[in-house]
Amino acid sequence: MANDRVPTPPPLHDLPTAKEKRYDRQLRLWGASGQVALEEAHILLVNTGSGVTGIEALKNLVLPGVGQFSILDSAIVCEEDLGVNFFLEDESLGKFRAEETPLESFLQKDDNLKPFTLLLVGAPIDYASLRKIRDLALASQTPLFYTHCIGFFSHFSVQLPRAFPVVDTHPDPTATQDLRLLKPWSELQDFAKRMTDDLETMAQHDLGHVPYVCLLLHYIDKYRTQHGKLPESYKDKTAVRDMVRAEGKDEENFEEAYAAVLKSLNPPTIPSAVRDVLSAPETQSLTSVSSSFWLIANAIQRFVTKYSVLPLPGAVPDMKARSNDYITLQQIYKSKARADCAEVTASVRSLEKSTNRSAKLEIPVNEIENFCKNAAHIHLVRGRPLQLITPGEKPSFGDRAKALRSELTNPESLMGLYLAFLAFDDFTATHTPPVPAHPSSPTGVLVPGASDSALEADAAKLTSTAHTYLDALINESGNRLEDPEYSDLRAEIEKYCTEIARAGGAELHNMASLTGGLVSQEIIKVITGQYVGVDNVCLVEGVASRMGTLKV
Amino acid sequence: MQRRDRGTVQAVGAPLTVRVKNSRVLLIGAGGIGCELLKNLVCCGFGSGYIPPNGANGIPSPKHTPGITVIDLDTIDLSNLNRQFLFRKQHIKKPKALVAKETALPFNPAVNIDAQHASIFDPQYTVAFFRSFDIVFNALDNLAARRHVNRMCLAADVPLIESGTTGFNGQAQAIQKGVTECYDCNPKPVQKSFPICTIRSTPSQPIHCIVWAKSYLLPELFGTSEEEANDMVETEGDDQEEVKKLRAEAQALKKIRGLMGTSEFAKAVFDKVFYEDIERLKSMEEMWQTRKKPVSIQFDTIDKLSAAEGAALASQDQQSWTLVENLAVFCHSLATLTGRAQAGESSIDFDKDDKDTLDFVTSASNLRSHVFGVLLHSEWEVKQMAGNIIPAIATSNALTASLSVMLGFKVFRGMLAAESETATTNGHTMVMKPNNPPLGGSKFIFLNPRSTERIITTQNLARPNPACPVCSPVYAELHIPPVDADGNGMSTLQDLVGILIGNNDYAHFTISTEAGVIYDEDMTDNYSSPLAELGIEPGSSGFVTITDDDEDPRADLVLSVTAAPADGGLSIESHISYGKLPLKPVPAAPPTESGTAPDVKSAMNGIALLNREKRKRGAGDDGDDEVDAAAAKRAKAAPTASDAVVTIDDDGAILLDD
Ligand SMILES: [Zn+2]
């Protein structure tokens, strides 16, 4: 077996200057915590084919500083690989890329997969090994990526742990504004009153410097006095907007207020995705070793029960204002956010006590702060097992059958390509290469179209299997598919299968590079625990540069 | 076909593989996207040359010598290593183009790579140079170079694949004269600049103080250049009296440079800019009627930390420093920069990756922020604002580069179809068959990080904007005959005017070069000047524009200049005739200077494009490549991909039809 271990210095949490400089451009995307997670990661690449996709993905992970990687690979380097595998050079021709150790024997010891934070497996791979890896990853809750890249087509599936929470989702900055204009606290209310006290009599110049947040609070108040309620409906809000317009004296801040009415006059709500987290069984039943995420979620749940709102994020957008007024306004929001966070922190500390959490596991303050700041945008992925066919049998789509059946009538969907890749796996699982194998063939795996003479027969076999899978999905969903859609879909699947067979398992370097790019981007999201990623299947059709996702 | 080409052959078919191997490719830029592009091009066999096994049997021999030419003027910096994978630590400070070649060649030694460490603005890169390629790939990091290459490719009528990334965002598009929109068909936003009085007298935002420190204080103390910074300009709104006083103030500061190296230097600089100048500003009551007055500070009244403490603070760049701490860093960086200046560095300019200048700019801008009651920032934040840093990562570059090469395959497929068509019709003008869409059916491709359902989206390429000042003119060549041994035969402006009237049927027109108008009916001063004296000579990358002055004007004629063959006279390509020029479309609004300028916020998000002078490498130039914000916006509204199918035609070649 191969062990291309890259020695790493111990991860440095304070990121010294040279490293910071090297990673400057990316630290701006995932911060020091993301960088530390990358540096602590150890990735296993299982490559038995020509493997360019895996190598490309690995390159994109080594560059931003992934701590360690190992390649498990039993293929022998031959010239064919050189066209596509840039880590290898002409000199290594004829040498082993790795010591030959059958994948099977490596997988015999369950512990062998323990050191890895993430597994990346490239098709083709022998069926028993894939199943073993999938099961071990499920048991240890280790993220697993599985890829195909054949000709102009590629695919990857992601198997995440049962609960995979993301706190830093990096939402669109405009989506994160939470000004609480319909639910102001007294300090904010008082400040706005002070700023808008003599609005009617104010000199034009002063009028142009009242922060728009104060203007809006003023008009909301005025609306409430007139109508006896808050402006909550769309009609109410446009009424407030008209009030702003009526008084707006061509000043920039009035323009800002006018523009902000519809998006800022919203009662603070708790998104359903966040409610799901707060009511999740893991949040509800804490133990002494619950992850910090669930413990903080529980504390936030307490906060929500008490106040019916999430903790205030505390950020204030730029606006026209005198700088000292703006700073005061910022401070009002900041100190409210701090107070909310302090309350959550107090709950966290008491939960740590009541659950008998060890002092070593004490949750750092900045983690609680970060959670509070992002509370409205946290995201929980419920990882699903990688779908594996059983050779020669019809696949089952379980609780996703209905949803996937509806993909079949979506002209944008690449469901047909997914079925073709499943059929590819069935083909490799049910065929063995003639002995002796061509030195370039991955051990024990025969791909469709490997020889010109078998091309047509292989294409027909693939197509027939994929058609069976299509029927299986339709039957399982209990929802028939009529012509011409059904016939069109069968024809589309046949095209995919014919192309896959034609490629004879060969990777087009550029397509492997594209797929490797997508896979590594998703791996970075998983390792850093930031950004919302693909859940859980991604397909690429390179001819038209099309991609699509499925949840299987 | 060699075994190593198997992947390509199986995917795209033998005819296209041969065409790609026989291609001549120009790659401009060997940075983040450039490294990836070079690797993909090399591994897919572009420019590796096809040697037919049994002689050139029916396969047309290549028009030009196959190969890949890569041009980059940069050298390798440590901050490139997180994504520019062809470079290693030992390559720092070496030319990117040369190292990229050295590292990429072993991937496929059959490829003929020509690496040039030069600026694409250099005069040797003429229209004729561009025309010697089948395709050009842009992997640039700045707007000026992108616009230049766009124009050269239009003039040379060579397809261009343009691409860029910002963080997780990216895009790639194919451009061809008369077929698609060009890079300049949509106005590009330019970097925001500030009125000089805002920067020097009445700052109200952190960015004002940062620009002051980086574009005024640092150059006055350590620079030599007399050039005006391009982010600080005199505007009509600036009070002329005040501008004069500011000049005097700057002169006074220059004098303080004389104290450099003495123990009084830090105190002298500090008291000049944070006390004297502020006191003067404070005395101008009218300035502070609607603004908060600044509060001056004096060197002697602030606590001092030791030099070691200053140096230690400078490494804590994520936290905000207090007044005392900022002073300590200020003194520390001033001393370091003084040491460098005295060791012989004649001019120290701001570079966000030069820690000493960053320390100086951060501390000085924070001290000024303190004076004007503006929020202080950490060095990390200042760096982003001052350096206009664009986040860049390996994955987006890999994705964007592979999408670009995908477009390249399509363009070659289009060429292949056109070439075989031309061959069968005996050289007659090629008519596109309906199944041969322009540029092989290339698309505008976007990477959208926020949409996990559609990380990649495409939209159809737009038609050229008929009012685009860059792609709507007609481009042609002006041939200038060589001068004989006695210096005779020098072509003059009069000769040029003569052939325009005599050979090309022009009547009323204006001739201009990059330097401005050189001829119109009322301006004949240059009439007898040799063209060479007017900057019009073979081997320059400049253009000569002929503008029609008729009431219903024809399109502009833009001429690139080449040497005429030995026996040829001064001439414009024969097919150009006034009567055949299209009418001029409604004039387009030139790219605006302020209208679409992004604000500072978006600049910090990295979506701002910098308006840079030719060849001037500013400190903000090294992000990978910026995404065109307008196009990115369109992408949001873009319809998703159409229904592409792959079909196999009779001779076994795969057609990439959409
Ligand atoms: Zn244009």
Residue of B nearest to A63 (CA): B82
- The amino acid that residue B344 corresponds to is G
CATH 3.10.290.20 range(s) for chain B read 473-640
- Of A240, A264, A288, the residue at which a domain comes to its end is A264
State how far the alpha carbon of A176 is from the alpha carbons of A170, A180, A261, A293, B390, in Å.
9, 12, 16, 20, 22
Asked which of A24-28, A268-272, A434-438 is least confident by mean pLDDT, the reply is A434-438
In a domain, A141, yes or no: yes
Continuous H helices in A158-268? 186-196, 204-207, 212-227, 234-247, 252-264
Residue A100: pLDDT over 50: no
Q: Which strand (E) or helix (H) includes residue B543?
A: strand B543-548
- Of A213, A231, A264, the residue at which a domain comes to its end is A264
Q: CB B158: neighbour CB atoms within 10 A?
A: 20
State how far the alpha carbon of B394 is from the alpha carbons of A169, A512, B32, B107, in Å.
20, 15, 7, 19
Cβ proximity of A131 and A513 under 8 Å: no
In a domain, A1, yes or no: no
Residue A498: pLDDT over 60: yes
Judging contacts by C-beta atoms under 8 Å, the chain B residues touching residue A534 are 452, 455
Cα B547 vs. chain centroid, distance in angstroms?
Answer: 27
Which of residues 612 through 631 in chain B touch A, CB cutoff 8 A? 623-624
Write the residue in A327, A517, A549 that is nearest to B398 by C-beta: A517
In a domain, A5, yes or no: no
Name residue, tokens 């795209």. B12
Q: Which domain holds residue A406?
A: 398-504
Question: According to the model, what pLDDT value does residue B425 have?
Answer: 43
CATH of domain B194-386: 1.10.10.520
Cα A294 vs. chain centroid, distance in angstroms?
Answer: 19
Cβ proximity of A108 and A128 under 8 Å: no
Q: Which strand (E) or helix (H) includes residue B364?
A: helix B355-372
Cα A159 from Cα A145, distance rounded (Å) = 6
Cα A93 from Cα A161, distance rounded (Å) = 40
Question: Given CB atoms, is B315 within the 8 Å cutoff of chain A?
Answer: yes
Question: According to the model, what pLDDT value does residue B589 have?
Answer: 47
Judging contacts by C-beta atoms under 8 Å, the chain A residues touching residue B406 are 510-511, 514, 542, 545
Whether residue A420 sits in one domain with residue A306: no
In a domain, A3, yes or no: no
Question: According to the model, what pLDDT value does residue B318 have?
Answer: 77
Helix axes A509-528, A52-62, angle to 10 degrees: 50
Cα B530 from Cα A301, distance rounded (Å) = 83
- Domain count along chain A: 4
The domain defined by B3-189+391-460 folds into Rossmann fold (3.40.50)
Angle CA(A36)–CA(A41)–CA(A44) in degrees, nearest 5? 165
State how far the alpha carbon of B537 is from the alpha carbons of B127, B154, B480, B530, B534, in Å.
13, 20, 7, 10, 8
Listed residue (B278, B444, B286) closest to B367, CA to CA: B278
Q: CB A95: neighbour CB atoms within 10 A?
A: 10
Grouping H, G, I as helix, E, B as strand and the rest as coil, residue B255 is helix
Asked which of A2-16, A316-330, B39-53, B512-526 is least confident by mean pLDDT, the reply is A2-16
Q: CB B655: neighbour CB atoms within 10 A?
A: 19
The structure tokens listed for A329 are 């306004």
Listed residue (B633, B606, B591) closest to B189, CA to CA: B591
Grouping H, G, I as helix, E, B as strand and the rest as coil, residue A177 is coil
Question: According to the model, what pLDDT value does residue B483 have?
Answer: 79
Whether residue A319 sits in one domain with residue A248: no
Write the residue in A80, A89, A411 that is nearest to B643 by C-beta: A411
Whether residue A319 sits in one domain with residue A250: no
Cβ proximity of A375 and A300 under 8 Å: yes
- Length of chain B in terms of residues written: 658
Cα B454 from Cα B446, distance rounded (Å) = 10
Whether residue A297 sits in one domain with residue A408: no
Residue A438: pLDDT over 90: no
Grouping H, G, I as helix, E, B as strand and the rest as coil, residue B511 is strand
DSSP state of B373: T
The structure tokens listed for A376 are 């409205």
Cα B148 from Cα B156, distance rounded (Å) = 12
Question: According to the model, what pLDDT value does residue A189 have?
Answer: 95
* Segments of B434-504 assigned E as strands: 443-447, 456-460, 474-480
Whether residue A251 sits in one domain with residue A146: no
Q: Number of CB pairs < 8 Å for A and B?
A: 225
CATH of domain B473-640: 3.10.290.20
State residue B195 phi and psi, 5-degree precision: -60, 140
Cα B278 from Cα B293, distance rounded (Å) = 9
Cα B380 from Cα B319, distance rounded (Å) = 8
B182 Cα: distance to centroid of ligand 1 (angstroms): 4
- Rg of chain A (C-alpha set): 29
Q: Do A22 and B401 touch (CB under 8 A)?
A: no
B108 Cα: distance to centroid of ligand 1 (angstroms): 37
CA-based max dimension of chain B: 90
- Of A331, A346, A381, the residue at which a domain comes to its end is A381
Q: Do A28 and B389 touch (CB under 8 A)?
A: yes
Grouping H, G, I as helix, E, B as strand and the rest as coil, residue B521 is coil
Residue A201: pLDDT over 90: no
Which of residues 205 through 234 in chain B touch A, CB cutoff 8 A? 205
Question: According to the model, what pLDDT value does residue B200 have?
Answer: 84
Q: CB B80: neighbour CB atoms within 10 A?
A: 25
CATH 3.40.50.720 range(s) for chain B read 3-189+391-460
Interface test mutation site (partner B, options A58, A63, A153, A210, max chain B beta carbons within 10 A): A63
DSSP state of A174: G
CATH 1.10.10.520 range(s) for chain B read 194-386
In a domain, A389, yes or no: no
Cβ proximity of B28 and B138 under 8 Å: yes
Question: According to the model, what pLDDT value does residue B57 have?
Answer: 53
Q: What is the ipTM of this complex?
A: 0.86
Listed residue (A243, A244, A249) closest to A201, CA to CA: A249
Grouping H, G, I as helix, E, B as strand and the rest as coil, residue B466 is coil
Question: According to the model, what pLDDT value does residue B382 have?
Answer: 86
- The amino acid that residue B7 corresponds to is G
In a domain, A388, yes or no: no
Grouping H, G, I as helix, E, B as strand and the rest as coil, residue A43 is strand
Which of residues 379 through 438 in chain B touch A, CB cutoff 8 A? 384, 389-396, 398-399, 401-403, 405-406, 409
Whether residue A452 sits in one domain with residue A421: yes
Whether residue A35 sits in one domain with residue A91: yes
Question: According to the model, what pLDDT value does residue A383 have?
Answer: 96
Cα B30 from Cα B634, distance rounded (Å) = 28
Grouping H, G, I as helix, E, B as strand and the rest as coil, residue B492 is strand
User: Tell me, what CATH number does A45's domain have?
Assistant: 3.40.50.720
Whether residue A208 sits in one domain with residue A138: no
* Segments of B187-343 assigned E as strands: 194-195, 232-233
CA dihedral B414, B416, B417, B419 (to 10 degrees): 120
N-to-C CA span, chain A = 32
Question: According to the model, what pLDDT value does residue B192 have?
Answer: 62
Task: Identify the band that residue A71 occupies on the pLDDT scale cut at 50, 70 and 90.
Answer: confident
Q: CB B548: neighbour CB atoms within 10 A?
A: 20
Cα B363 from Cα B652, distance rounded (Å) = 67
Half-sphere exposure in the Cβ direction for A473 (13 Å, CA): 27
Catalytic site residue B197?
yes
In a domain, A116, yes or no: yes
- Rg of chain B (C-alpha set): 28
Residue A262: pLDDT over 90: no
User: Which residue ranges of chain B lie beneath pLDDT 70?
Assistant: 1-4, 53-63, 82-83, 188-193, 224-238, 290, 388-391, 421-436, 449-450, 487, 586-658
Encode pLDDT of B507-520 as tens digits: 899 999 988 899 99
Sheet holding A42-47, edge to edge: A68-72, A42-47, A118-122, A144-150, A153-159, A537-541, A546-550
3-state secondary structure labels for all residues of A64-128: CCCCEEEEECCCECCHHHHCCCCCCCHHHCCCECCCCCCHHHHHHCHHHHCCCCEEEEECCCCHH
